[in-house]
């Protein structure tokens, strides 16, 4: 009896599997259904079709800060585009929610993507090739720097438009502490020795035993670019002449910089919490209320935020001021900074209104769209008229960020001046470059961080550490050599 | 045999009808996703349709992948270690609570030991990361005990401490819960047994050894079987407390499945790995049940 039941069960299971497999093969491919390839070939120089109807958006960072403001944001976006906009913004776990909704068959016209999601979804044929639609749009071609499009072009095709302009990270310095140590930040020698000397003086000048002049986030390989520039090494993964992927930070040339980090750690100049801290911890320690660190690498916007937060707390610039520098000089006499990975809106392959989606992307690339994405909703976040705008209390608390603190429109004019320190940090933008988009960015960061920490702590020699780093990058298919 | 079954169904049809919603609930929300997941493990899954049947290639990929092999051992060591420590810690708390005669002290001790179980891993993980940080409590104590030149130990970046920390914090969080389960069994013990033992001159240790522990043995078996079902399913703790420096020693199967399935959209391989976790859990719990003669509890 038992045997017969088992046999029947096994047969049913096998049949179900076979049926499931057949079903899988016969499932229609939305990418094919939507005529992506045909559109790519025929789309040259054609006008963008007139967009109308509803555009359904799945957003992450873009929109209002709460449910009520989301409604206002939706209304403002509908008014600005002339479309009926429906926005969803999951409260947390965005990537997980997006995956579940897409695989569950839910249809959207625009979905928010970070660079890694972008690469992975292209590999899944889940995004529509919108290259020709972009070429046909005067707004998208004229209002956005062509370099930005180059950064998100994969095998000659573009599958998304921009949520915001990605700015870069700079070396942020506590100028008050530097002044107290007798250092003029403008005259810091941009070499490893020059910065070592600065860190040493800052440490000597502090009576706080928990104060460490330098901090970085090694557990997440958070911005080592301004320091690796000393050897001219690019962050992330790059291609060699033979088209093979490799990680410059794992090359022999990176040895002197890793040894410099080790020296900073051994001499008590680098915060030992760099091995475990997250960026949030680093920012707290750099903030006016803590001042446990004096030099970090952080986003341009954070230079301004530190100063703005201090000003909001009634702290004068004599007591606390963050300034910025572009880091160490390359062997060629320039600088290297890392630009943020793209923040995008892709059109899913099964989108029902791709024309409407393009119109929304066009709006995001305009002055009005930039106002909405940065400053916020007129009458809610700010009031007034041209040249005489004022933040409302709510608007001031949102700090000019509704998804895009720096809009993608290349000639965008902010309604309000930037916070103290931001313009100086922005001025280093010419040294910044985007990282190559790779699907397993998490693996890259984990491997570089892990071996970096081992080298800095002295658990392995620099030579062995770099060798181990390279080997593991290859084993986990992050690099080719 | 068949006729007897049929007669029983007809006789108790009212009860069976009442069970239908429960059955439907489990079919829709438990077994359907489970079967769907098993189907997907044999496919190269695309988010927007067009999935292909690939046979056992997802399973082959996982079984040959060194990262998955390491994650399996990490899951077993950390999960198993946590269970063992939590089990004995729970018994110790329960026995001590039973021996505490002052009601206020007993209630306070029980509350204090149970509270960590009510907190999420975001809170507990953050708490222990702070306690073990270079400026945290543990380094503060070590600094007091050593001279002023003491260099703080970054515990959360030391591979040698990684598994111990996970096992200890996991057990710390759950010991109060186990203690509550054991206490529920202990309070059911007839107090006359203890009185007789005392009259016969049995010490407290002997009362624990010969009365308390034997009586709660069935509860221990239930707790053991239920817990071993969960040793491969620890996600939150490792997700919150892991970092690049120690991930080799603690990254477990569920975290890896999350990274592969959710972050990199490799749904096929992730579901194959999840199916392996399911099978491994089934095997482990079956073996443990056999060893403990679990079914005898109810016979």
A120 vs B49, B245, B265: nearest CB: B265
Probe site for chain A from B244, B247, B271 (most A CB atoms < 10 A):
B244
B243 vs A124, A276, A457: nearest CB: A276
C-alpha–C-alpha distance, residues B189 and A2, integer Å: 41
Query: Quick one: pLDDT at residue B148?
Result: 67
Structure-block tokens of residue A98: 């997006």
C-alpha–C-alpha distance, residues A275 and A205, integer Å: 25
Q: Which residue(s) pair with A322 in the sheet?
A: A174
C-beta separation of A76 from A371 below 8 A: no
Probe site for chain A from B57, B152, B157 (most A CB atoms < 10 A):
B157
Q: Residue A43: pLDDT above 70?
A: no
Å from A95 to nearest chain B CA?
A: 7
Contacting residues of B for A475, CB less than 8 Å apart:
66
Structure-block tokens of residue B209: 């050894």
Structure-block tokens of residue A300: 């341009």
Residue of A nearest to B155 (CA): A276
Binary contact (A450, B245; C-beta < 8 A): yes
If interface means Cβ-Cβ distance under 8 Å, which residues of chain B face chain A?
A: 35, 38-39, 42-43, 45-53, 66-67, 129, 133-135, 151-152, 154, 156-157, 243-245, 247-248, 259, 262-265, 267
A275 vs B45, B157, B262: nearest CB: B157
Scanning chain B, the segments in alpha helix (DSSP H) are: 2-11, 13-26, 32-40, 57-64, 66-99, 103-118, 121-131, 137-145, 159-186, 191-199, 204-207, 213-228, 236-241, 247-250, 253-258, 267-292
Query: Quick one: pLDDT at residue A175?
Result: 97
Residue keyed to tokens 């892709």: A346
A125 vs B50, B67, B243: nearest CB: B50
Do the strands B43-44 and A343-346 form a parallel or antiparallel pair, or are they unpaired? unpaired
Probe site for chain A from B4, B139, B265, B272 (most A CB atoms < 10 A):
B265
Residue of B22 and A41 predicted with greater confidence: B22
Computed over every residue of chain B, the mean pLDDT equals 92
Segment (H or E) for A169: strand A169-174
Query: Quick one: pLDDT at residue A16?
Result: 38
Residue of A nearest to B2 (CA): A1
Scanning A267-299, the segments in alpha helix (DSSP H) are: 279-286
Query: Quick one: pLDDT at residue A420?
Result: 93
Query: Quick one: pLDDT at residue A209?
Result: 85
- The predicted-structure confidence for A374-428, as pLDDT tens digits, reads as follows 999 999 999 988 778 999 988 888 878 899 989 999 999 999 988 899 999 999 9
Query: Quick one: pLDDT at residue A387?
Result: 77
Q: Residue A20: pLDDT above 50?
A: no
Q: Residues B219, B222, B228, B233: is their CA dihedral positive or negative?
A: negative
Q: Residue B236: pLDDT above 90?
A: yes
Q: Residue A25: pLDDT above 50?
A: no
Beta carbons within 8 Å of A59's beta carbon, 6+ residues apart:
A87, A88, A89, A112, A403
pTM over 0.90: no
Contacting residues of B for A96, CB less than 8 Å apart:
262
What average pLDDT score do residues A99-121 get? 90
| C-alpha distances out from residue A240 to A181, A313, A378, Å | 44, 50, 49
Contacting residues of A for B69, CB less than 8 Å apart:
none
C-alpha–C-alpha distance, residues B128 and B137, integer Å: 10
Binary contact (B265, A450; C-beta < 8 A): no
What average pLDDT score do residues A223-242 get? 96
Residue keyed to tokens 């965008």: A412
Q: Residues A409, A134, A341, A352: is their CA dihedral positive or negative?
A: positive
Contacting residues of B for A460, CB less than 8 Å apart:
none
Query: Quick one: pLDDT at residue A366?
Result: 96
Q: Which of B139, B134, B169, B131 is nearest to B250 (CA)?
A: B169
pLDDT band at A41 (very low <50, low <70, confident <90, very high): very low
Lowest-pLDDT choice from A88-97, A314-323, A442-451, B68-77: A88-97
- The predicted-structure confidence for A137-183, as pLDDT tens digits, reads as follows 999 999 999 999 998 999 999 999 999 998 999 999 999 999 999 99
Binary contact (A126, B46; C-beta < 8 A): yes
Query: Quick one: pLDDT at residue A13?
Result: 40
Å from B94 to nearest chain A CA?
A: 36
A102 vs B48, B157, B264: nearest CB: B48
| C-alpha distances out from residue A481 to A216, A248, A462, A465, B65, Å | 27, 11, 18, 15, 19
Binary contact (A16, B66; C-beta < 8 A): no
Q: Residues A115, A116, A120, A123: is their CA dihedral positive or negative?
A: positive
Query: Quick one: pLDDT at residue A400?
Result: 85
pLDDT band at B9 (very low <50, low <70, confident <90, very high): confident
Q: Residue A97: pLDDT above 70?
A: yes
C-alpha–C-alpha distance, residues A404 and A112, integer Å: 12
C-alpha–C-alpha distance, residues A253 and A231, integer Å: 7
Query: Quick one: pLDDT at residue A57?
Result: 97
Residue of B nearest to A113 (CA): B263
Probe site for chain B from A271, A276, A292, A348 (most B CB atoms < 10 A):
A276
- The predicted-structure confidence for B148-186, as pLDDT tens digits, reads as follows 678 889 999 999 999 999 999 999 999 999 999 999 999
C-alpha–C-alpha distance, residues A337 and A340, integer Å: 10
B53 vs A25, A440, A476: nearest CB: A25
Contacting residues of A for B247, CB less than 8 Å apart:
446, 450
- The predicted-structure confidence for B52-110, as pLDDT tens digits, reads as follows 899 999 999 999 999 999 999 999 999 999 999 999 999 999 999 998 888 899 999 99
Query: Quick one: pLDDT at residue A30?
Result: 37
Query: Quick one: pLDDT at residue A24?
Result: 37
Contacting residues of A for B51, CB less than 8 Å apart:
24, 27
What average pLDDT score do residues B120-143 get? 94
Q: Residue A437: pLDDT above 80?
A: yes
Contacting residues of B for A447, CB less than 8 Å apart:
244
Binary contact (B245, A126; C-beta < 8 A): no
Contacting residues of A for B151, CB less than 8 Å apart:
268, 272
Compute the half-sphere exposure of residue A188: CA atoms within 13 Å on the CB side of its CA.
32
C-beta separation of A62 from A88 below 8 A: no
Residue of B nearest to A30 (CA): B48
Binary contact (B262, A96; C-beta < 8 A): yes
Query: Quick one: pLDDT at residue B298?
Result: 66
B50 vs A27, A272, A453: nearest CB: A27
């Amino acid at each position: 009896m038992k045997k017969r039941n088992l046999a029947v069960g096994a047969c049913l299971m096998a049949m179900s599997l076979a049926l499931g497999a057949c079903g899988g093969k016969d499932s229609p491919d939305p990418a094919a259904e939507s005529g992506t390839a045909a559109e790519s070939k025929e789309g040259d120089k054609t006008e963008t079709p007139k967009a109308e109807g509803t555009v359904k958006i799945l957003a992450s960072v873009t929109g209002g800060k709460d449910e009520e403001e989301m409604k206002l944001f939706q209304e403002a976006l509908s008014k600005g585009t002339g479309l009926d906009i429906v926005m969803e913004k999951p409260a947390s776990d965005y990537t997980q929610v997006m995956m579940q909704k897409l695989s569950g068959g839910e249809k959207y016209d625009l979905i928010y993507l970070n660079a890694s999601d972008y690469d992975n979804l292209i590999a899944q044929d889940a995004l529509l090739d919108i290259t020709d639609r972009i070429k046909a749009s005067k707004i998208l071609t004229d209002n956005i720097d062509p370099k930005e499009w180059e950064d998100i072009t994969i095998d000659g095709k573009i599958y998304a438009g921009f949520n915001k302009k990605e700015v870069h990270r700079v070396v942020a310095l506590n100028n008050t502490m530097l002044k107290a140590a007798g250092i003029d930040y403008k005259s810091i020698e941009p070499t490893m020795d020059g910065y070592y000397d600065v860190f040493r003086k800052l440490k000597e000048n502090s009576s706080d035993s928990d104060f460490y002049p330098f901090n970085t986030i090694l557990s997440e390989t958070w911005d080592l670019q301004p320091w690796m520039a000393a050897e001219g090494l690019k962050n992330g993964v790059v291609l060699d002449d033979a088209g093979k992927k490799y990680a410059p930070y794992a090359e022999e040339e990176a040895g002197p910089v890793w040894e410099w980090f080790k020296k900073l750690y051994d001499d008590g100049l680098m915060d030992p919490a760099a091995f475990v801290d997250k960026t949030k911890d680093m920012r707290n320690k750099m903030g006016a209320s803590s001042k446990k660190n004096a030099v970090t690498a952080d986003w341009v916007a954070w230079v301004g935020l530190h100063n703005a937060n201090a000003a909001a707390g009634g702290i004068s610039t004599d007591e606390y001021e963050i300034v910025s520098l572009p880091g160490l000089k390359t062997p060629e006499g320039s600088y290297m900074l890392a630009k943020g990975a793209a923040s995008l809106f892709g059109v899913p392959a099964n989108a029902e209104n791709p024309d409407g989606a393009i119109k929304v992307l066009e709006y995001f690339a305009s002055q009005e769209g930039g106002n909405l994405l940065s400053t916020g909703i007129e009458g809610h976040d700010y009031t007034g008229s041209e040249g005489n705008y004022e933040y409302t209390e709510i608007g001031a608390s949102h700090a000019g960020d509704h998804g895009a603190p720096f809009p993608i429109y290349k000639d965008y004019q902010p309604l309000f001046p930037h916070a103290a320190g931001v313009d100086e940090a922005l001025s280093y933008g010419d040294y910044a470059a985007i990282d190559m988009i790779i699907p397993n960015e998490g693996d890259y960061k984990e491997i570089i961080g892990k071996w970096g920490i081992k080298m800095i702590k002295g658990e392995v020699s620099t030579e062995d550490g770099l060798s181990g780093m390279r080997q593991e990058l290859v084993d986990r298919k992050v690099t080719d050599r | 045999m068949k006729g007897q079954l049929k007669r029983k169904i007809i006789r108790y049809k009212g009860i069976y009808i009442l069970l239908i919603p429960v059955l439907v609930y489990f079919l829709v929300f438990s077994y359907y996703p489970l079967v769907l997941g098993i189907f997907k493990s044999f496919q190269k899954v695309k988010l927007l349709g067009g999935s292909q049947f690939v046979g056992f290639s997802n399973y082959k990929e996982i079984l040959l992948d060194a990262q998955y092999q390491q994650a399996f051992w990490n899951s077993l060591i950390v999960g198993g270690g946590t269970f063992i420590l939590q089990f004995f810690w729970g018994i110790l708390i329960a026995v001590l609570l039973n021996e505490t005669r002052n009601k206020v002290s007993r209630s306070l001790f029980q509350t204090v030991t149970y509270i960590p179980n009510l907190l999420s891993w975001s809170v507990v993980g953050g708490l222990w990361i702070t306690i073990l940080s270079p400026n945290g409590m543990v380094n503060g104590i070590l600094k007091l005990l050593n001279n002023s030149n003491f260099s703080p130990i970054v515990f959360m970046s030391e591979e040698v401490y990684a598994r111990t920390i996970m096992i200890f914090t996991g057990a710390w969080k759950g010991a109060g819960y186990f203690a509550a389960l054991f206490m529920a069994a202990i309070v059911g013990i007839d107090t006359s047994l203890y009185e007789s033992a005392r009259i016969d001159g049995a010490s407290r240790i002997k009362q624990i050894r010969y009365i308390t522990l034997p009586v709660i043995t069935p509860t221990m078996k239930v707790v053991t079987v239920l817990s071993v079902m969960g040793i491969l399913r620890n996600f939150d703790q490792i997700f919150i407390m892991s970092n690049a420096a120690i991930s080799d020693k603690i990254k477990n199967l569920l975290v890896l499945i999350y990274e592969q399935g959710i972050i990199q959209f490799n749904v096929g391989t992730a579901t194959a790995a999840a199916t392996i976790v399911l099978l491994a859990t089934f095997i482990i719990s079956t073996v443990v049940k056999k060893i403990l003669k679990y079914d005898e509890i109810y016979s």
